[in-house]
Amino acid sequence: MTKLSKNLLKHTPMLDFNHPQIQSLIEQRHWRDLSQYDAIGEIYNYVRDEISFGYNADDRIPASQVFKDGYGQCNTKGTLLIALLRAVGVPTRFHGFTIYNELQRGAIPNHLFFFAPKRIIHSWVEIYYKDRWINLEGYIIDKPYLKQIQSRFAEDNESFSGFGIATKCLASPDVDWTGEDTYIQSDGIADDFGTYEQPDDFYLKHGSNLTGIKKVLFRYALRHLMNRNVNNIRSNGVS
């Protein structure tokens, strides 16, 4: 068996799983009482579907803030997923990328799309399970939102890119936990920055997607318009 670094279970400023609200959630859901397979699946499903797809104020917010927001995107939902998994003893690490912005078109309305950088910082979570690393990315898009996209583009049974999704098969993407890799945006990857034990270290090196006035506009105005659009799609479908 591979000897793993203790850092893969470490609490960090971003992975603040000792926060009372996170500990309370874990106790309420009885995740520590489950087998490792079932605990991974329950936590994965929670982050995928009960933390809705949406845009937070910053990629670098801690897990407790993602929980409080109740929504997130690849990076922020990933932070919460790592924190929850580490809290129940599952070794995890962070894998950083960029994705092409085109896969966000639709989730980001066309009149705001000029704002998106051409390559957007992206990440997924890797877990060590049964003596191997497994990639988890399918938690990004919640099922209600995904079903609306599938309904609107039912004819796209093969490769699809848009609305926060980039997959080889829109009708049946690999988003369910079965002990194997899950993906929902992997077909849009541009750059691969490799793995990091802590997301904190990745963002210290690579920063976040926006700086200056764009960052201020995004935090206080534009992301709210983007979230309104995503929520409308989830509730009413794609117009």
Residue for token digits 């799309």? 113
Of all residues in the chain, the percent with pLDDT exceeding 90 is 87
Torsion of CA 141, 41, 21, 14, to 10 degrees: -70
The domain ranges of the chain are 6-236
Task: Quickly state the pLDDT bin for 3 (edges 50, 70, 90).
Answer: confident
165-224 tens-digit pLDDT: 999 999 999 999 999 999 999 999 999 999 999 999 999 999 887 778 878 888 888 999
Q: Which residues contact 205 (CB under 8 A, 6 or more apart)?
A: none
Task: Quickly state the pLDDT bin for 1 (edges 50, 70, 90).
Answer: very low
Q: Topology of domain 6-236, per CATH?
A: C8orf32 fold (3.10.620)
Write the DSSP symbol of residue 101: G
Report how far residue 153's alpha carbon sits from residue 147's, in angstroms, rounded to the nearest whole number: 10
Which CA distances in Å does 21 have to 18, 79, 84, 173, 198?
Answer: 8, 15, 11, 32, 21
Secondary structure of residue 149 in the 3-state scheme: helix
44-83 tens-digit pLDDT: 999 999 999 999 999 999 999 999 999 999 999 999 999 9
Q: Are strands 160-162 and 165-167 parallel, antiparallel or unpaired?
A: antiparallel
109-165 tens-digit pLDDT: 999 988 888 999 999 999 999 999 999 999 999 999 999 999 999 876 678 999 999
Task: Quickly state the pLDDT bin for 101 (edges 50, 70, 90).
Answer: very high
Report how far residue 196's alpha carbon sits from residue 203's, in angstroms, rounded to the nearest whole number: 10
Report how far residue 162's alpha carbon sits from residue 109's, in angstroms, rounded to the nearest whole number: 11
C-alpha dihedral sign at 226, 232, 235, 239: negative
